[in-house]
Amino acid sequence: MGSRIVATGRALPRTLVSNKDLERYMDTSDEWISTRTGIRQRYTMRQGESLADITAEASKIALNRAGMKAADLDAIVVGTVSSEYGFPSFACQVQTRLGIDTIPAFDVAAACSGFVYALSVADSMMRAGDFKRVLTIGTDALSTMVDWNDRRTAVLFGDGAGAAVMVHEPGPRGVLTSVLRSAGQHWNLLAVRSTGIRSTIDSEVRRDPADSIQMKGPELFKIAVKSIADVTKQAAEKAGIDIAAVDLVVPHQANMRILSAVAERLGISQEKVFTNIDRYGNTSAASVPIALDEALEQDRIHDNDLVMLNACGGGLTWGANLLRW
């Protein structure tokens, strides 16, 4: 076996925005948002807030729970598309906030699939033998990239960070399989032309609509359901495990209706699918590690449980990781 998650942590921006609050900004309603997406509220960044600070906070919680110091880490792998800089990487900004030097720190850009991708990369690094303790992070602030006049996208996204401390460990527990997929031909179903300028909900200067998130929601919906279901089956098959044996699915939280449709396609009960989209919205790469952290906190995961992580996002990218907890 290659690697195992020994602790997780999460952190969020301070501002909670309810669907009712959004009714003041655009022609929408709590009823539309909650019935079409399952979202009731989300946390969003404000001017002056730093996603790197929030990510460092999530990382410190995970490290503390793992009984480790940042200096014990061998690498930092960050799934994100929200770096404030073209370069340096977001991972380097987190590294310096954790007060550590010289260990490799780099980003994996796979949009909402960022954590699933980063976890697979970290696991491969540990299987290869050179790394023993890797901090794997999913963090994003897509609310800063929306056009706040576009009700079709602005209501969906929230911001946040989730972190997992992974250790190299022989034995039956840990990451069993990962399956990653991309389809660049679908790039324009969900894209943002430039990062850089942040347009938070409270900022006076707005992002140009052409530089904001562009999404073809209904097309994306259909592809997301099929691709997440397929890759989840493939991850189970690769491990020689029947999907029915999976104890808990911890999916990317994009839309409650997507989660239900995927469960139906896989023939698993909704009770086996962890959801917290009502409270966070779609936090992109942060959603899987935030959900995992909450699932652990709520005692939904026990030793030796089979836990499936899965996601689909811009790229398009999609993937799944099967873990024996």
Ligand X SMILES: CC(C)(COP(=O)(O)OP(=O)(O)OC[C@H]1O[C@@H](n2cnc3c(N)ncnc32)[C@H](O)[C@@H]1OP(=O)(O)O)[C@@H](O)C(=O)NCCC(=O)NCCS
Q: How far apart are CA 282 and CA 314, in angstroms?
A: 13
Q: Name the phi and psi angles at 209, rounded to 5.
A: -50, -35
Candidate residues 52, 76, 137, 254; the one interacting with ligand X per rule CB under 6 A: 254
Q: How far apart are CA 213 and CA 192, in angstroms?
A: 5
**Burial class of residue 152 (count of CB atoms within 10 Å of its CB; 0-12, 13-18, 19+):** middle
44 counts as binding ligand X under rule CB under 6 A: no
Minimum CB distance to ligand X smaller for 153 or for 177: 153
Candidate residues 82, 282, 283, 310; the one interacting with ligand X per rule CB under 6 A: 282
Candidate residues 129, 170, 171, 218; the one interacting with ligand X per rule CB under 6 A: 218
Is there a catalytic annotation at residue 282? yes
**Burial class of residue 59 (count of CB atoms within 10 Å of its CB; 0-12, 13-18, 19+):** buried
Is there a catalytic annotation at residue 252? yes
| Contacts with ligand X, 94-133, as mask; x by CB under 6 A | ------------------x---------------------
253 counts as binding ligand X under rule CB under 6 A: no
138 counts as binding ligand X under rule CB under 6 A: no
Is there a catalytic annotation at residue 19? no
- Amino acid identity, position 77: V
Contact 131, 106 (CB under 8 A): no
| Contacts with ligand X, 293-312, as mask; x by CB under 6 A | -------------------x
Q: Name the phi and psi angles at 203, rounded to 5.
A: -80, 150
Contact residues toward ligand X (CB under 6 A) are 28, 32-33, 36-37, 112, 151-152, 155, 190, 215, 217-218, 220-221, 224, 254-255, 258, 282, 312-313
